[in-house]
Amino acid sequence: MHYKVRAVLVGLLFCSAALGADDAVCSKGWKTLYEKNSKLGLTGERIDHALGRCRNSGMTLQETDMLLYPVSIARSESLPVESMLNKIEEGLAKRVDAKQLAVALEARLENLRRAARLIPSSRPGGGGNPQRLITQVCMALESGLPEAVLKELFELLGGFRYGRLVHVVEMGETLQLAGLDPQNTKQIMDDCLSRQLNRSEMVRVVDYLLEEHRKGRAFKTIHSELWIHSK
């Protein structure tokens, strides 16, 4: 009896030692991953949080490394990374598998690149936060707003501030998602910029447009009525 108890105890001891070793290796691996990303410029609480979420969601080290790779690429290209980290966290919450999540991240990285290319870096009077505009343009592209529409918008003359452009692009995305024709959306975006509407006024324009659009009225009619009220 004594012998059996001793054997069980020794067995348990071996098991716990093996588990402890595995955990130690694991922690070392996560630490290495953290350090690797720190060297790539992804530092601070945000990356710590994202890593923690990956680990707690059951992602392996390799999978986490794969997910963070496009984020570090975005950082190295001076693109905003917050929306990418957010996408990782969204995917983890929705229990999306690592491969599908990696595809979504690649798509986001590509859209951020497209957005950055579209926005002229030396806009006269373009004070404000270009990173926010890049993110918003990326979202609009993901929502299906054609690149050509945005390109033409940014080619308009005028020293528009990034903040105003953010609101205009946001408005364009809303109209796109509501099913408006992209060319009509572009016309409204141009109108709002040239008339220097502020965000509240743009919201009123969108509300009026969508209400009339839902009634099935032709865009031309709605558009001609739209600016009569503003005169």
Question: Which residues form the interface with other proteins (CB under 8 A)?
Answer: 49, 53, 86-87, 89-94, 96, 100-101, 104, 107-108, 136, 139, 142-143, 170, 173-174, 177-178, 198-200, 203, 206, 210
Alpha-carbon separation of residue 143 from 108, 155, 187, 218 (angstroms): 12, 21, 18, 23
> Which DSSP symbol is given to 126?
-
CB of 218 vs other proteins, minimal distance in Å: 22
CB of 175 vs other proteins, minimal distance in Å: 10
Considering the complex, state which of residue 90 and residue 181 has its C-beta at the smaller distance from other proteins: 90
CB of 200 vs other proteins, minimal distance in Å: 5
CB of 131 vs other proteins, minimal distance in Å: 12
Considering the complex, state which of residue 32 and residue 100 has its C-beta at the smaller distance from other proteins: 100
Contact of 151 with 145, CB cutoff 8 Å: no
Q: Which one, of 138, 60, 147, 137, lies nearest residue 101 by Cα?
A: 60
Considering the complex, state which of residue 66 and residue 203 has its C-beta at the smaller distance from other proteins: 203
Angle between helices 162-177 and 147-155 (to 10 degrees): 150
Interatomic CA distance for residues 124 and 223, integer angstroms = 30
Considering the complex, state which of residue 50 and residue 118 has its C-beta at the smaller distance from other proteins: 50
